[in-house]
Structure 1
């Protein structure tokens, strides 16, 4: 079961999107140097479709353009089902998933996501904004393939 601890409207997690970022708990990755260690524990409220509807409504479905699941590596199939739910019930919204794994779980249909960030945080390599990062952000193209857009996070 997925649980969420908090949410925020963010502008830098997904390029060109106003994103409702939903922070999911019980992260099994435990990356050294993680800035969100509070998400390692089993805490928060269940993230059901009803809770998701409430979060989208309270944060203004007209104000956001994307819903991002920040974590959820403990139950990738649940993240996948919620992303499909968003696409089905909110066709104007895009979906994103930040996974700390190096590959996308086989329990996930990538086509349910418009953006997927993969990779654990490795302190000496830095986050997405660092050109030396191991993390990668992918965007789904109209043909269903994915392109690496990580360089969009780097200052020029």
Structure 2
């Protein structure tokens, strides 16, 4: 069962989108130097279909995207909730920020429009760093993943 700590409307997580970012708890990755260690615990409110629909009802007309931040312990459930977003508000795009190095087997990439993969490695920096190990992808309707990490780098 997925749980969330909090949520916010953000502008930097998915380039070009106004995003409802939902911070999921229960992160199993334990990345050294984690910037959100409070998400490693199992607390928070249950994120089920009803709770997600409440959030969509409250914020869905103010955003263009919903992004699940975490959920690596239950990737199939994150994908299932992405389907709830698509059925409830089909005009919204859906993203997933995962600390996994690879997309999980058995989960359809096309459940999402955007996916960030890669654990936090402090020495390599965030998505905006040229040395980052993390990758940001735009997912095609056929499940192909186009690397769009460069969209996080500022242009002179």
**Unmatched runs of 5 consecutive residues or more in structure 1:** none
1:21 match: secondary structure: strand
Is 1:135 the counterpart of 2:134? The answer is yes
RMSD: 1.0
Counterpart Cα distance in 2 of 1:55 and 1:140: 24
Shift of 1:99: 0.5
**Match for residue 47 of structure 1?**
47
- Are the counterparts in 2 of residues 137 and 150 from structure 1 also a CA contact under 8 Å? yes
Paired residues for 1:66-105 under 5 Å: 66-105=65-104
**Match for residue 114 of structure 1?**
113
- Are the counterparts in 2 of residues 76 and 107 from structure 1 also a CA contact under 8 Å? no
**Match for residue 23 of structure 2?**
23
Counterpart Cα distance in 1 of 2:100 and 2:141: 25
Task: Spell out, residue by residue over 1:90-140, the C-alpha distance to the aligned partner (whole angstroms, 9 max, x if none).
Answer: 110000000000011113111110000000010000011111100000002
1:53 match: secondary structure: helix
Counterpart Cα distance in 1 of 2:145 and 2:138: 5
TM-score, reference length from structure 1: 0.96
How many residue pairs get aligned? The number is 155
Counterpart Cα distance in 2 of 1:142 and 1:76: 19
